[in-house]
Structure 1
Amino acid sequence: MRPFNDPAIQAVFAAYPEPTRAGALKLRELVFETAGSLPDAPPLQEALRWGQPAYLAPKGSTIRLGGHKAARFALFVHCQSRLMGEFTSAFPGEDRIDGNRAVLFDEPDQIDPTRHGWLIARALTYHL
């Protein structure tokens, strides 16, 4: 597991119920792996936004991770972006989606590094 640079972010993950924490941590690793694999890898900032771990790149759109009322955990993107529409067009019917803002998960093994990594990469490079 990648170490935390901010104790406040670590505390948020620690406070999640176990099923949420396990999935959110797996998504966190995928965010960092994906960011590192991008051409001219953008510097990635991990911060808290709306009380959730958030990941920001200089030319990207914010990604957030956390619990969801209809699932154990979710990967959130900016609801006014084209990201979720592009994702559902590229991978129709493959995930549970909350409108134009989140991919919903109940188990960490539902995370697909290729499919969800694609969405993460698009978010981190959204304004390029």
Structure 2
Amino acid sequence: MEESIASKLNTYPTDAKSALLQLRKLILQIAKLESLGPVSESIKWEQLSYSCPKGSPLRIDWYPDSPQTISLFCHCQTKLIATFKEVYPSHFQYLGNREILLPISQISAKPELAHCISVALKYHQVKNKPLLGL
């Protein structure tokens, strides 16, 4: 883990940091298991950002005004959130066309979350498929 990523993670409260680390681990595991290429990990818009060569970037963050959740952001000009809402309407809490709110206590508990991350990390391979191949 690069120093800038570790430094950013150290700015969060313990429970939020733990949830973000779990989500980070899930993103990296999915990319490796599905051979999606190297994962670029950086800070974008002051948020942790993850992308693969043929995917759409994912960003993750925590906000003090919603302390029991972390946010998973998708690029707002993709069909990702609209498709996730259609396929998984009651599995997640969505905000607009770019954000999924995740309870910090249930990060890796849902296979649907892993599925959404997988689709985002290979978005440019599936963007023309009905429902992104979900």
More displaced 10-residue stretch of structure 1: 106-115 or 57-66: 106-115
With normalisation by structure 2, the TM-score equals 0.84
- Contact preservation (8 Å) 2:19, 2:107: no
- Contact preservation (8 Å) 1:24, 1:74: no
Percentage of identical aligned residues: 28
Q: Does 1:7 align with 2:37?
A: no
Task: Tell me the equivalent position of 1:127.
Answer: 124
Number of matched residues? 123
Task: Tell me the equivalent position of 1:33.
Answer: 29
What one-letter code is carried by the residue in structure 2 that aligns with 1:11? S
Task: Tell me the equivalent position of 2:90.
Answer: 93
**CA–CA distance in structure 2, aligned partners of residues 105 and 113 of structure 1:** 10
What one-letter code is carried by the residue in structure 2 that aligns with 1:88? K
- Contact preservation (8 Å) 1:77, 1:83: yes
SS at match of 1:15: coil
> Aligned Cα RMSD in Å?
1.6
Structure 1, gaps ≥5 residues long: none
Q: Which runs of structure 1 show a deviation greater than 4 angstroms over 4 or more consecutive aligned residues? A: none
| Distance apart, 1:107 and its partner CA | 2.2
- Deviation digits for residues 1-20 of structure 1, max 9, x if unmatched? xxx1x101111011111222
Task: Tell me the equivalent position of 2:132.
Answer: none
**CA–CA distance in structure 2, aligned partners of residues 13 and 74 of structure 1:** 14
